[in-house]
Amino acid sequence: MRHGVGVEIQRDLWEIARRNIEENGFEGVLAAVHGDFREPHPELPPGAFDLVVSNPPFRRLGEGRRNPDPQKEIARHEARCKLADVFGAAVRTLSAQGRFSMIGRPERLAEILSCASAALIFPERLRFVHPYADRPANLVLFIGNRRRPPELSVLPPLTVYASSGRYHPEMERIYRGLIPP
């Protein structure tokens, strides 16, 4: 049986995650832990996970517009953790065959690859996410693993919207669960 653990440093967001797990009947399958993923925790034993997924803060502290809401500031800027911390926690909790998946900003791709290399997580796949087909990518999906893959695959772009208010057909299929993201 598969088991998932989510870690949230912000109490309000942790409570929302915990309630969502309960309301959707995922107790015993999913758990929400309130804490700092950088610190040891009984629910995060070293080497225990085959997949670690992260949506880290996209911006370095001091970049972009600061949000006066502390909760949003922590979520969007590296106020509580840096990209290297995310990779460090991932490699600590990944099994020998484990994969790490994250989303980030394309302008930080060199830093993502540098952090992966320092953590001995080998890049396996990259996919750039474009809001519209004719616009530059604003996100990048990264998948790496503990084993050296035969080669890095750069997948075709993922386009979010076909037109204003309409998802691209591939996004529709992903959201409906018809194809894996």
Mean pLDDT by 10 residues, the chain (181 residues): 82 93 92 88 89 83 75 70 91 94 95 95 96 96 88 95 92 84 60
Q: Which residues pair with 99 in a beta bridge?
A: 51, 145
Please state, in angstroms and rounded to a whole number, the distance separating the CA atoms of residues 7 and 27. Answer: 15
In a domain, 115, yes or no: yes
Q: Tokens for 46, please give them.
A: 């070293």
What pLDDT, on the 0 to 100 scale, is given for residue 74? 66
Cross-strand partners of 30: 4, 27
Instruction: State the residue range of the domain holding 62.
Output: 50-175
Torsion-angle region of 165 (φ positive above 0: left; ψ -120 to 50: alpha; else: beta): left
Assess whether 80 and 166 both reside in one domain: yes
Which pLDDT score is estimated for 178? 78
Same domain, yes or no, for 89 and 151? Answer: yes
CA distance linking residue 7 with residue 4, whole number of Å: 10
In the prediction, which pLDDT does 39 show? Answer: 86
pLDDT of amino acid 170? 93
pTM: 0.86
CATH of the domain at 62: 3.40.50.150
Residue-level pLDDT at 19 = 96
93 with 49: CB under 8 angstroms?
yes
pLDDT of the residue at 1: 47
Asked if residue 180 is part of any domain, the answer here is no
